[in-house]
């Protein structure tokens, strides 16, 4: 590594409050061996340091690296043949998806993420979706190796579940309602590759032991409250404490999940987690669309964070999370794409825009997230939930040199009012295609839109080759099973009368 001056017409070092960011006009960052040494006006920085290289010009805005706080896979379910559906049926439709090479799949999405300015990701991988022809540890390690090769920072976890694999009740009770041959086919499929709690803990411990590094953290992940027994949740909490690591879990993503809590524990799933002593600052929960007022108080009191995925929530008919209330009450909120951005890509700048616009509820006095708040959620709060808070989130001395240079021409031309705040300009008009250069730990990963360490065309070519093979008999069988099962899943959930409580937001009225 070496020293660099990174300059831009604007250097956004970090957010100060909801209406202000610290912006240095004609500013620069001096970094040495991946550490930020000084930030200030370009002329001053240049007079004090002799870098090996200078990057940037007055054509760019320099911002801290962005964090995608919730992510699972590379090729999206849509690319693999599944249209958007409500989560409860969509996860069964996903059985039909073909297997992909975990290394190439991860490199593919890492490239997409870097191209939109993401330098750090919370990657949450379902153990059941690991290919069955390799060991669990090897497959997890291959995903981490893809991130190592890409240069990104990652908080990686393997996610597991031990109950309610079909609908929100005991598997056998539901299977008893199905035609016998279908039920047997599902039993064979679910039992085909049992992964125990012990496997989950020991593989995660091995990954922590062998794969953790400056840029890689290994978390542990129970999939979601209703999908995990209390025994599993307790063991995972204990594991995270023993290994001083983070926990990432899905939570109250849909109304059905909230209702499951009321039916089974007489309280919300989050309140159940609180009873188990599960919550705390090391815990981040994906989605949290169906949080009650009391839930939000619990999150604030315990320091538990929410990773919100606005586009995914729209696509899977999950709803709109109460972000305004969460922020009002001081809950840490970060933004994730869940590989389900509105354009089915991994463009974080667009996701920031969706996050900002979807929470604009009617009324002149109703809250509206500012661009500075949105930037804070995708930098500082993203750093908090991935446990990289000490290292990243702001461009200031002592932090690691993770930054993004965004081209200003398309955003500003032919005219943009010169009084426009650059943070507003980025959140209102920025897109992944404007990202020019991406730096992690002082390493240039992308320059002029071109990868410096990866051969994109070669990787895509190799990936295409592996995907050109015909479906295996096992993949075909899984697809048939999924298509046969889906109407039964649909009918089971149709039997639930949805709760109609008092919403946090109101968007329209019928009478």
Report the interface residues with Zn ion, using CB under 5 A.
Answer: 286, 338
CB of 121 to Zn ion, least distance (A): 13
Residue whose CB is less far from Zn ion, 97 or 286: 286
Q: Which burial class, exposed, middle or buried, applies to 188 when counting CB atoms under 10 A from its CB (0-12, 13-18, 19+)?
A: exposed
Residue whose CB is less far from Zn ion, 286 or 334: 286
CB of 156 to Zn ion, least distance (A): 14
- Cα separation of 43 and 39, whole Å? 11
- Cα separation of 426 and 408, whole Å? 9
Residue 162, CA distances (Å) to 200, 225, 231 in order: 11, 10, 10
CB of 70 to Zn ion, least distance (A): 6
Closest CA to 474 of 183, 101, 98, 125: 98
Residue whose CB is less far from Zn ion, 248 or 407: 248
- Cα separation of 309 and 289, whole Å? 9
For 492: left if phi > 0, alpha if psi spans -120 to 50, otherwise beta; the answer is alpha
Residue whose CB is less far from Zn ion, 39 or 283: 283
- Cα separation of 345 and 348, whole Å? 9
The helix-helix angle for 348-358 and 422-429 (nearest 10°) equals 100
CB of 159 to Zn ion, least distance (A): 8
Four-CA torsion 433, 63, 70, 120, nearest 10 degrees? 100
Residue whose CB is less far from Zn ion, 253 or 402: 253
Residue whose CB is less far from Zn ion, 370 or 386: 386
CA atoms 268, 269, 273, 276: torsion sign: positive
Do residues 6 and 53 touch, judged by C-beta distance below 8 A?
no
471 secondary structure, DSSP code: P
CB of 286 to Zn ion, least distance (A): 5
- Cα separation of 195 and 199, whole Å? 6
CB of 315 to Zn ion, least distance (A): 12
CB of 284 to Zn ion, least distance (A): 12
Residue whose CB is less far from Zn ion, 348 or 408: 348
- Cα separation of 355 and 332, whole Å? 15
Closest CA to 3 of 50, 68, 73: 50
CB of 76 to Zn ion, least distance (A): 12
Query: Strand (E) positions, 312-398?
Result: 333-335
CB of 451 to Zn ion, least distance (A): 27
């Amino acid at each position: 590594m070496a020293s660099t001056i990174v300059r831009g017409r604007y250097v956004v070092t970090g957010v100060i409050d909801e209406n202000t960011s610290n912006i240095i006009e004609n500013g620069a960052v001096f970094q040495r061996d991946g550490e930020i040494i000084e930030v200030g006006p370009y002329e001053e920085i240049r007079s004090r340091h002799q870098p090996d290289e200078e990057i940037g010009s007055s054509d760019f805005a320099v911002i801290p690296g962005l964090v995608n706080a919730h992510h699972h896979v590379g090729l999206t379910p849509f690319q693999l043949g599944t249209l958007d559906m409500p989560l409860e049926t969509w996860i069964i439709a996903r059985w039909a998806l073909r297997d992909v090479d975990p290394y190439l799949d991860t490199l593919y999405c890492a490239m997409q993420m870097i191209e939109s300015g993401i330098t750090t990701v919370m990657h949450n991988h379902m153990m059941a979706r690991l290919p069955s022809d390799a060991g669990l540890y090897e497959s997890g390690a291959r995903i981490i190796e893809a991130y190592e090769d890409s240069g990104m920072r990652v908080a990686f976890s393997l996610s597991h579940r031990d109950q309610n694999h079909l609908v929100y009740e005991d598997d056998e009770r539901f299977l008893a309602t199905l035609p016998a041959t279908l039920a047997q086919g599902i039993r064979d499929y679910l039992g085909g590759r049992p992964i125990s709690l012990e496997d989950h803990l020991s593989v995660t411990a091995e990954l922590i032991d062998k794969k953790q590094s400056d840029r890689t953290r290994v978390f542990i992940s129970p999939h979601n409250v209703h999908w995990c027994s209390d025994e599993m949740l307790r063991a995972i909490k204990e594991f995270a404490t023993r290994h001083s690591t983070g926990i990432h879990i899905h939570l109250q993503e849909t109304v059905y999940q909230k209702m499951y809590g009321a039916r089974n524990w007489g309280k919300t799933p989050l309140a159940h987690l609180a009873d188990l002593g599960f919550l705390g600052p090391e815990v981040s929960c994906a989605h949290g669309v169906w949080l009650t007022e009391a839930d939000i108080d619990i999150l604030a009191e315990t320091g538990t964070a929410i990773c919100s995925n606005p586009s995914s929530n729209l696509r899977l008919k999950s709803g709109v999370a109460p972000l305004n209330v969460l922020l009002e009450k001081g809950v840490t909120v970060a933004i994730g794409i869940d590989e389900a951005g509105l354009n089915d890509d991994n463009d974080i700048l667009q996701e920031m825009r969706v996050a900002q616009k979807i929470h604009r509820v009617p009324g002149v006095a109703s809250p509206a997230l500012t661009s500075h708040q949105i930037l804070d959620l995708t930098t500082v709060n993203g750093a908090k939930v991935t446990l990289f808070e000490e290292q990243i989130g702001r461009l200031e001395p002592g932090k690691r040199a993770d930054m993004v240079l965004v081209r200003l021409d398309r955003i500003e031309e032919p005219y943009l009012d010169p009084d426009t705040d650059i943070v507003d300009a980025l959140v209102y008009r920025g897109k992944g295609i404007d990202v020019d250069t991406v730096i992690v730990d002082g390493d240039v990963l992308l320059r002029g839109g071109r990868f410096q360490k990866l051969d994109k065309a070669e990787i895509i070519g190799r990936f295409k080759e592996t995907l050109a093979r015909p479906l295996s008999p096992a993949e075909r069988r899984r697809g048939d099973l999924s298509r046969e099962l889906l109407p039964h899943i649909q009918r089971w959930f149709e039997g639930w009368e949805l709760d109609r409580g008092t919403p946090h937001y109101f968007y329209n009225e019928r009478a």
